[in-house]
């Protein structure tokens, strides 16, 4: 599309097939001509909102930045859709350098890569931040780190090396315990998974659920995804900004390496009556300021970017918001929080409604 940020795709064929392979947070497409010609490879990163959709060519979704047309009658289009444009694609078949083994498809290599490199400075950081380092945890994003740490009751701001060295010692002790049979060792392992095992099995739960957890445009599927979540964006859970400015969700104490000057905030369930009052006004203001945003369905409105790209220039401003402690008082309607100047512009006498 004209507004797409990715490079042009120099490929032309009367008939070709598309196949895909994934590794961590990347997906590689192979465009293979059915006749003469060489295949072309594209490697995608999805950012926060990137996805593929198959639809009628006459009914392209908004933000369809790359389109592959079929020869059906009427034709259909396989589209790479990315409303926020954090996603990208590049030409070539190579995975991005510096990314470690995939937590899903290369679990043994992933595990070995972590445990053999615990002296790396990446593990001087809190475990919640280390989990987003794609050099070691290729495929783990913001919601996954929250779910993994929650299940193990690990404070997010515990030092990563402390957590993983204890895991390494536990693994060595388990190997030395020759009194247990193999079946008992496997049973013990299933009943007491460690952090690296959950880095594999928790994403696998999402994969196994297939479309029930995908396609957030469909409210039933989004509801299924929300019901699967145990910690991320769940009412009653606490949240803090990590040192990179991303929100981490957790339960209990944050840990000794939590950023200074922040107060942990708990997510509260919005009362139904309050939601009905506020939603129309929020929608109206959003449509006036950002017409495109207002046209989108509500996805993960409070979600941080799930990708691993740095957030430049924004963490400080967002962190400032996070320092305010959560109030037990009901949130005031948006109308009452407008500045007098804005209220005066909206209509005579509205400023005096305070």
- For residue 296, what pLDDT band results from cuts at 50, 70 and 90? very low
* Residue 168: closest CA among 147, 194, 143: 194
Mean pLDDT, to the nearest integer, of 19-38? 94
Amino acid 33: pLDDT = 95
Please count the structural domains in the chain: 2
CATH number of the domain residue 207 falls in: 1.10.8.50
**46 is in which domain, residue-wise?**
16-91
User: Any idea which of 43-52, 84-93, 158-167, 278-287 has the lowest mean pLDDT?
Assistant: 278-287
Note whether 116 and 179 are same-domain residues. Answer: yes
Residue 286, CB-side half-sphere exposure with 13 Å CA sphere? 14
Task: Report d(CA 243, CA 265) in Å as an integer.
Answer: 16
Least confident of 96-100, 112-116, 205-209: 205-209
Q: For residue 194, tell me if it sits in a domain.
A: yes
- Output the pLDDT for position 217: 57
Residue 304 forms part of a structural domain: no
Q: The domain spanning residue 82 has which CATH number?
A: 3.20.190.10
Give 224-269 as a DSSP string. Answer: HHHHH-SSTT-TT-EEEE-TTS-EEEESS---TTPPTT---EE--P
Residue 219 lies in a domain: yes
Q: Please state, for a pLDDT cut of 90, what percent of the chain lies above it.
A: 49
The pLDDT assigned to 210 comes to 63
Q: Which of residues 267, 295, 316 is at a domain's end?
A: 267
143 lies in the same domain as 219: yes
Least confident interval from 20-24, 79-83, 188-192, 261-265: 188-192
Asked whether the beta carbons of 243 and 125 are under 8 A apart, the reply is yes
In a domain, 307, yes or no: no
Which 8-state DSSP code applies to residue 64?
E
Does the structure show a pLDDT above 50 at 284?
A: no
Average pLDDT over residues 49-73: 90
**CA–CA distance, 281 with 278 (Å, rounded to integer):** 6
Q: What is the pTM of this model?
A: 0.70
Residue of 126, 108, 117 lying closest to 163 (CA atoms): 126
* Residue with more model confidence, 314 or 198: 198
Tell whether the model's pLDDT for residue 222 goes beyond 90.
Answer: no
Is there a domain that residue 342 lies in? no
Residue 109 or residue 220, greater confidence: 109
């Amino acid at each position: 599309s004209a507004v797409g940020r990715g490079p042009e795709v120099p490929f032309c064929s009367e008939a070709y097939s598309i196949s895909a392979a994934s590794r961590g947070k990347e997906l590689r497409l192979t465009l293979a001509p059915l006749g003469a010609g060489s295949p072309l490879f594209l490697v995608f990163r999805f950012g926060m909102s990137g996805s593929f959709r198959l639809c009628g060519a006459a009914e392209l979704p908004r933000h369809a930045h790359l389109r592959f047309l079929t020869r059906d009658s009427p034709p259909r289009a396989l589209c790479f859709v990315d409303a926020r444009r954090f996603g990208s694609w590049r030409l070539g078949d190579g995975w991005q350098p510096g990314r470690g083994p995939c937590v899903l498809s290369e679990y043994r290599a992933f595990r070995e890569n972590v445990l053999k490199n615990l002296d790396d400075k990446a593990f001087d950081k809190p475990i919640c931040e280390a989990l987003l380092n794609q050099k070691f945890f290729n495929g783990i994003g913001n919601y996954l780190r929250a779910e993994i740490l929650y299940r193990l009751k690990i404070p997010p701001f515990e030092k990563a090396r402390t957590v993983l060295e204890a895991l390494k010692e536990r693994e060595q002790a388990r190997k030395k315990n020759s009194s247990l049979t193999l079946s008992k060792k496997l049973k013990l392992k299933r009943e007491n998974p460690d952090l690296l095992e959950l880095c594999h099995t928790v994403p696998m739960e999402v994969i196994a659920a297939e479309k029930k957890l995908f396609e957030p445009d469909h409210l039933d599927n989004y509801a299924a995804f929300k019901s699967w979540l145990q910690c991320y964006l769940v009412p009653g859970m606490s949240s803090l900004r990590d040192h990179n400015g991303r929100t981490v969700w957790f339960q209990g104490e944050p840990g000794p390496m939590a950023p200074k000057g922040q107060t942990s905030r708990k997510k509260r369930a919005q009362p139904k009556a309050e939601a009905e009052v506020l939603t129309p006004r929020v929608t109206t203001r959003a449509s006036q300021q950002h017409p495109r945003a207002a046209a989108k369905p509500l996805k993960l409105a409070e979600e941080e970017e799930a990708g691993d790209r740095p957030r430049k220039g924004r963490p400080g401003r967002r962190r400032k918001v996070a320092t305010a402690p959560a109030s037990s008082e009901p949130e005031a309607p948006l109308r009452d929080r407008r500045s007098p100047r804005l209220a005066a512009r909206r209509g005579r006498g509205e400023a005096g409604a305070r």
